[in-house]
Structure formats: structure tokens, C-alpha cells
Structure 1
Amino acid sequence: MLPKEWHRSTLGEIARITSGGTPDRSKPEYWGGDIPWVTTGEIQFNTITDTGEKITAAGLQNSSAKLFPLGTLLMAMYGQGKTRGQVAKLGIEAATNQACAAILLNDNNDPDYFFQYLSSQYEEIRELGNAGTQKNLSGGILKGVLVPVPPYREQRRIAQVLTTWDQAIATAERLLANSQRCTRDLMASILSGRRRFREFTDKWRYVDLDAVFVRITRKNSTQNTNVLTISAEHGLISQRDYFNKSVASANLSGYTLLHRYDFAYNKSYSAGYPMGAIKPLLSYDAGVVSSLYLCFRMRSDVDADFDFFRHYFEAGLLDQEIEGIAQEGARNHGLLNVSVTDFFKLQLHIPTAPEQRRIAEAINVARADEARLKAQVQALRQEKAALMSQLLTGKRRVKLTVSETEVQA
């Protein structure tokens, strides 16, 4: 139920919905001008103030591309991954390609309010796409989307409140990005020995990996069913927690059994891990991994710091070594061809155990600050989402000033 001053309308009743086009790529005179040209990849719940490509006046005049005014709402109609259904607002005059829907609201409808509303309905709208191998939205589909329409002044105040939250989130995200950048720089410098603490002067040494670690070959004799996978963000995590299901084979007897603080190397290369990822088991007491993983643990007779090495591996300081032993071109189904013997003879460049502990301590402090800021960003997003669900449905009303109330009346 909406408040009595509100009404429900379709997007097509309160806006003109159209799309743009792409000038002929074979005509260089159409490209490299000064007219911003938006593609779907630039629509990311943002205000667009510049574009990666620009077209000329001739390109605009001789194609289906159209120039849209500042304040136009854009929605990605096509796109892989999460692109389809994302929304942006033009902070400049710009043309778009044919995959971008341009939503030009009628008078007395506020673009900022509808930007917030359409953003809040992202998951629902993207599911309206046409059936097919890749679902797409269309102008016709968007015209039928139902939207709540408060009086114009109330639209403005709702948008102002939510924009304030966006600004707080953006500030927190900048602080987080800066913290992450500083942590990466810190790790790169102190884990490589380029930057050292004054109290340590001993020369770093080169040792084989098997001088510090021993291979794990224990099979799953305990019938453990906690099948683990490697996630860039979460490390070794249960497939059930990550995928909401297990994608492993029914017979797990051939899997390798890991205990907490054991390491696993996934030879599959992925984004951010060109030489594969090495992660420790931290979230569970035990779990099992595919026999394709190379697993190892720290030797009990060696004085070494666990946290130092988990940071060492995460920073990719073994990548160059692994690249040297992976046979060029010998990749099978995304797996690097790395032999067990070669892997355990990789060279580690490490300091004494006391310096390892000092380095790990510094990185742990930086990581804790990063985690605190990440939690703050997540909390702000959740609080804004909860507020949106109230304000954008009229369950919670904003207060208008006396003058705004009079104008609205």
C-alpha cells in the first residue's frame, strides 16, 4: 500500500525510453571527436562525467547515435555477468550505443529519485530479460516496469537523503581502497626485503621450499565430507558455503585430508593469480581437497612463522619461481604443468624467524585496519538498503519544510 499522496505508474507513462547507436567503425572521421559516447561497461550505478570513447558531430549525424541531456538515466540492456540492469545518470551531455536504454523523465519527476529506485530494483529488473542463451532487456520491457511515484518535492527530499548515504559510502570506499593499496605496498616492500626494520641486520637467505615445508599426502581415511575450494577472497572455503552445494565427486576417499594451518596450492591460473593460488586452511578444523592440489605444512623442527609465509604466498612472491618451472605451453584445462619435485625445490628468499614474526605482525595490523574499513563499508551499504526499502515504498516518510509543503499542496 502506498501513501495516499503517492501513485503507482509504469516507467513508460512517466518517461520516454529510447536507445542510441554506434557510428560506423570503418569511418575514422566518425571517431575521436569531442562528443562523449557511453557503452554498457560504463554504466555502474554511477554518475557519468566522462567516457572512454568519443565521437564526432559527423558520427552523431550519420548514425543511429543520439545525444542525450544531462540528467538522463541510462540502463544497460545487454551485457555479460552483472552488467545487464545496472543504472547510471548522465552528469554530462552524451551519446550512447544501442545496448544502453536512455530514460528521459517527464517534467515533475526527479532523476535522482528514480536513479535510486531503479538501482534498488536491479535484481528484479535484470530478471525481466527475454529468454534465450543470453537474456536481454528491451525498451518495451522497461516501459512496463512499475514504479512508485511520490509528489515531486518528496521525490527530491528522498533523493537527497539517499545521496547523503551514497556520499558516506563513497568516502568509506575511498578509505578502504587507500588502505588496501598501502597494505599491498607494505607487503611488497617488507616481504621482499627491500624495506627492513632497524633492529634486524642479518642477511636474508635462499632455501628450498622443502627445507621449511613437508608435503601432505594423507588420504581421506576419516570420511570427511567438508570439500574445500580456493577462493581469492575467502581462501580455502567449503564448497557448500561458497557454491551452496558440493560439486565434488560422490567418492571422496581419494581426496587429500587437510587440517587447520595446512596449505594447498591450486595449479589453476585465475584472475589475480596467474601462477595459481596458495592458501592456508583457517576457517575449519579439517577438510578435503582434490588430489590435483599440492598440499603441504610447516615442518615441526623448523623455527618459522606461519603468518609470514601465508602473506609471502599471497603477495605472489613465488610466482616468478613457479613460472620458471611450468612448462611453456603445457597447460591442460587451465592447469599449470608443475611437477611435485620441481615445486618443492622452489627457492624461498627469507629472513630469520624473529624478523619473520616482526614482518607478519606489521602486515597483520595493516590487514586488521583493512578488515575494519571493509566492515564499515558493508555496514553502510546494509543500512542504506534498509532505509531505501522504507523510503522508496512510503513506509517511512521524509519531513518536508513548511515552504515545501505549501508548494506541494
Structure 2
Amino acid sequence: MLPEGWRRSTLGEIARITSGGTPDRSKPEYWGGEIPWVTTGEIQFNTITGTAEKITAAGLQNSSAKRFPPGTLLMAMYGQGKTRGQVAKLGIEATTNQNSAAILLNDGHDPDFYFHFLSSQYEDIRDFGHSGGISHLNAGLLKQIAVPVAPIHEQRRIAQILSTWDQAIATAERLVANNQRGTRDLMASLLSGRRRFPGISAKWRYVNLDAMFERVARRNTTHNTNVLTISAEHGLISQREYFNKSVASANLTGYTLLHRHDFAYNKSYSAGYPMGAIKPLMAYDAGVVSSLYLCFRLRDDVDADFDFFRHYFEAGLLNQEIEGIAQEGARNHGLLNVSVTDFFKLRLHIPGAPEQRRIAEVINVAKAEEGLLAAQLQALQHEKAALMSQLLTGKRRVKLPEAETEAQA
């Protein structure tokens, strides 16, 4: 139920919805001008103050591109991944391509209020785009989106409150990003030996991987059903947790059984891991991985620090070595051609165990701080989402300044 003074409407009733166009790419005189031109990839729950491409007056006149004023809301109607359904607000006058809907609100409707509202409905709007077998959005669908209409003074006050939360979240995001960069730089300097501790001067040495590690090739004779996959963020994680289902074969006897602190190398390259990812098992006592993974563990007869090597591999310090053994043109179906023999002869550049432990301790502290800041950011995002669900539906009312209350009455 909406509170007194609010009403239900549709986006088509409170706004004019249109789209832009793309000047002819074969005509250079249409491009490289002064008029900003927005693509769907630039619509990312943001305020747009600049664009990667600009068009000329001739390009505007000879295409379906249109100028839209600041305050226009944009929504991506097409796009790969999660692009479709994302919203932005124009902070400048700009044109858009034909895959971006331009939402021009009628008088008495605050763009910031509806920017927050449409952002909060992102998942539902994406699902709306799949209705009736349609895999994208269009102006007709957008016009049907149900929206609340609050008094304009209340719209503005709600938008101000949510913008304050956005500023706090943006500050937290910058802190997280700066901290992550600092941690990466710290890891790179410590794990390469460029940065040493006072009082430690022992030389680092080069050793083969098999001098420190032994292969794990144990079969799944215990019928373990905890099938693991490698995630960039979570490391070795259960497929049921990551995918909400198991995508492994029904027969797991051919899988490799891992115990806690065993490592697995996924030879499949991905974003951030051009030579594949090496992750240790830390979240469970045991689990199984595909036999395509190359698995190994620290040898019992060496003095070495597990955390040091966990960070060493995560920092990509084996990438250059792996690239040297993955033959050119040998990539097949996303997998690098790395043999077991070559892998265990990779060269490690490492300090003695005491220095390994010192390095690991410092990085662990930095990682813990990074995790704390990330958790604080996530808490802010969750709190804002909860607040949005109440403010944008009128379940929680805002207190207006007395002058605005009188004007509204």
C-alpha cells in the first residue's frame, strides 16, 4: 500500500521514452566532433559527464541521433553480460546510440528519484526483458514499468538522502581500491625480493618447483562428492555454492581428491589469470577436482611457509615461467598446453623459510585490512539497498523542512 499523497503510475505516463541513433561510420566527417555520444557500455548506474566518442553537427543532422538535456535518464536496452537494464543520468547534454533508451521525465518528477528507483528495479527490469520470448528491452516494455509517484518535494528529499549514501559508498569504494593497489604493490615488492626486512641479508635462491612440492594424484576412493571449482574471488569453492548446482559428471571416481592446504592449478586462462590460476584448498577439509587440474602439495621434508607460497602464486610470479613452457599456438578450447613434467620443473625464486614467514605475516595483515574495508563497503551497500526499498515505496517517510511542508500542502 502506498502512503497518503502517493499514487501508482507507469513510466510511460510520467515520461517520454525515445532512443538515439548512430551516424554512418563510413563517413569520417560525422565523427570526432564536439557532441558527446553515449553507448550502452557507458551506462553503468552512474552520472555521465563525458563520453569516449563524439560526433559532429553533420553527424547529428544526418542520422537518427538526438540531443538530450542534462537530467535525462538512460537505460541500456541491449548489451552483453549485465549491461542490459543498467541506468545512468546525463550530467551533460549528449546524444546516444539506438540501443539506449532516453527517458525524459515530465514536469513534477525528479530525475534523481527515478534514477534510484529504476536502479533498484534492475533485476526485475532484466527479467521483464525476457517476457514473451523477447531477449532485450524496448520502449514499449519500458513504458509498462510500474512506478510510484510521490509529491515532488518528497521525491527530492528522498533523492538527496540516497545521494548522500552514494557519496559514502563512493568514498568507501575509493578506500578499497587504494588499499587493494597498496596490497598488490606490497606483495610484488616483498615476494620478488625487491623489498627486504632490516637485518635479513641471506640471498634468495632458485629452485625447481618439485624441490618444494610433490604432485597430488590421489584418486577419489572415499567417494567424496564435494566437487570444487576455481573462482578468482573465492579460490577453490564447492560447485554447489558457486553455481547453486553441481556441473560435474555423476561418476567422480576419476576425480582427484584434495585435502586442506593442497594446491590446484587450473590450466584454463581467464580474466586476471592469463596463465591459469593456482589456488589452495582452504574452505573445506577435503574436496575433489577434475583430473584436468594439476594438483600438488608442500613436501613434508622441506621447511617452507604455506602462506608465502599461497601469496606467491596469487601474485602471478609463476606466469612468466608458465608462459615459457606453454608452446606457442598450443591453446586448445581455453586450456594451456602445460605438461606435468614441465610444470614441476618450473623455477621458483624464494628466500629461506624464516624470511618466507615474515613476508607471509606482513601480507596476511594487509589482506586482513583489505577484507575489513571490503566488508564495510558491502555493509554500506546492503544498508542503502534496504533503505531504498523503504524510501522509494513510501514504507518509510522522510521529514521535510517546514517551508517545504507548507508549500506541499
**Separation of aligned partners in 2, 1:128 and 1:291:** 41
**Separation of aligned partners in 2, 1:49 and 1:331:** 41
In structure 2, what is the equivalent of residue 393 of structure 1? 393
SS of equivalent residue, structure 1 residue 59: helix
In structure 1, what is the equivalent of residue 112 of structure 2? 112
Report the alpha carbon displacement of residue 130 of structure 1 after superposing the two structures with TM.
4.9
Q: Structure 1 stretches (4+) deviating beyond 6 angstroms?
A: none
Report the alpha carbon displacement of residue 132 of structure 1 after superposing the two structures with TM.
8.6
Report the alpha carbon displacement of residue 13 of structure 1 after superposing the two structures with TM.
0.7
**Separation of aligned partners in 1, 2:395 and 2:171:** 28
Is residue 264 from structure 1 mapped to residue 267 from structure 2 by the alignment?
no
Per-residue CA deviation, residues 182-226 of structure 1 (Å, 9 max, x unaligned), is: 111111111111111122101110000000001011100111000
TM-score of the two chains, using structure 1 as the length reference: 0.99
Report the alpha carbon displacement of residue 129 of structure 1 after superposing the two structures with TM.
1.3
Report the alpha carbon displacement of residue 315 of structure 1 after superposing the two structures with TM.
0.5
Per-residue CA deviation, residues 226-245 of structure 1 (Å, 9 max, x unaligned), is: 00000000000000000000
How many pairs align?
Answer: 409
Report the alpha carbon displacement of residue 248 of structure 1 after superposing the two structures with TM.
0.5
**Separation of aligned partners in 2, 1:213 and 1:134:** 53
In structure 1, what is the equivalent of residue 212 of structure 2? 212
SS of equivalent residue, structure 1 residue 127: helix
The 5 Å alignment of 1:283-302 reads 283-302=283-302
Report the alpha carbon displacement of residue 134 of structure 1 after superposing the two structures with TM.
7.3
**Separation of aligned partners in 1, 2:310 and 2:130:** 46
**Separation of aligned partners in 1, 2:318 and 2:227:** 26
In structure 2, what is the equivalent of residue 36 of structure 1? 36
SS of equivalent residue, structure 2 residue 192: coil
Report the alpha carbon displacement of residue 98 of structure 1 after superposing the two structures with TM.
0.3
In structure 2, what is the equivalent of residue 48 of structure 1? 48
Per-residue CA deviation, residues 78-121 of structure 1 (Å, 9 max, x unaligned), is: 00110000000001000000000000001110000000000000
Per-residue CA deviation, residues 119-141 of structure 1 (Å, 9 max, x unaligned), is: 00000011111569871100111
In structure 1, what is the equivalent of residue 77 of structure 2? 77
Is residue 327 from structure 1 mapped to residue 331 from structure 2 by the alignment?
no
Is residue 136 from structure 1 mapped to residue 136 from structure 2 by the alignment?
yes
Report the alpha carbon displacement of residue 44 of structure 1 after superposing the two structures with TM.
0.4
Is residue 6 from structure 1 mapped to residue 6 from structure 2 by the alignment?
yes
Cα-Cα RMSD:
1.0
**Separation of aligned partners in 1, 2:25 and 2:230:** 42
**Separation of aligned partners in 1, 2:217 and 2:138:** 54
In structure 2, what is the equivalent of residue 94 of structure 1? 94
**Separation of aligned partners in 2, 1:133 and 1:271:** 31
**Separation of aligned partners in 1, 2:157 and 2:300:** 64
In structure 1, what is the equivalent of residue 360 of structure 2? 360
- The residue identity in structure 2 corresponding to 1:348 is L
Unaligned runs of 5+ in 1: none
**Separation of aligned partners in 2, 1:334 and 1:92:** 42
Per-residue CA deviation, residues 58-82 of structure 1 (Å, 9 max, x unaligned), is: 1111110001000000000000110
SS of equivalent residue, structure 1 residue 236: strand
In structure 2, what is the equivalent of residue 171 of structure 1? 171
CA distance 1:406–1:131, change in 2 (3 Å): closer
CA distance 1:187–1:133, change in 2 (3 Å): farther
In structure 2, what is the equivalent of residue 337 of structure 1? 337
Unaligned runs of 5+ in 2: none
In structure 2, what is the equivalent of residue 403 of structure 1? 403
CA distance 1:143–1:188, change in 2 (3 Å): same
Per-residue CA deviation, residues 277-317 of structure 1 (Å, 9 max, x unaligned), is: 00000000000001111100001110111000000000000
SS of equivalent residue, structure 2 residue 258: strand
**Separation of aligned partners in 2, 1:145 and 1:406:** 32
- The residue identity in structure 2 corresponding to 1:364 is N
CA distance 1:132–1:398, change in 2 (3 Å): closer
Is residue 16 from structure 1 mapped to residue 4 from structure 2 by the alignment?
no
**Separation of aligned partners in 2, 1:287 and 1:132:** 42
Is residue 253 from structure 1 mapped to residue 253 from structure 2 by the alignment?
yes
